[in-house]
C-alpha cells in the first residue's frame, strides 16, 4: 500500500496563519502521527515510517 499524503494550500498572511498543525490517528493499529504544514512545506506523509507495502 502506498503511504497517504496530505496537501494543503490555504495559508494566510500573518505568521500564526502560516502554520497548520495536524494530528492523525489510526486506531486499529494504535498509531498517532503529528506534523506541521507551511507554505514552504505544504505536503506531509501520513505514517511515513510504518513501512506500508
Between residues 47 and 37, the one the model is more confident about: 37
pTM for the structure as a whole: 0.68
Burial of 6 (0-12, 13-18, 19+ CB in 10 A): middle
Whether residue 52 is predicted with pLDDT greater than 50 in this model: the reply is no
Please give the Cα distance from 12 to 52 (Å, whole number): 34
Mean pLDDT value across residues 39-46:
90
pLDDT value, residue 7: 86
CB 3 within 8 A of CB 52: yes
Check whether 32 has a pLDDT greater than 50: yes
pLDDT exceeds cutoff 70 at 27: yes
Predicted pLDDT of residue 36 = 92
Amino acid at each position: 500500500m502506498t503511504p497517504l499524503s496530505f496537501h494543503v494550500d490555504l495559508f494566510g498572511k500573518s505568521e500564526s496563519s502560516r502554520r497548520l498543525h495536524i494530528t492523525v490517528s489510526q486506531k486499529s493499529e494504535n498509531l498517532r502521527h503529528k506534523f506541521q504544514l507551511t507554505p514552504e512545506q505544504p505536503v506531509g506523509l501520513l505514517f511515513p515510517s510504518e513501512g506500508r507495502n
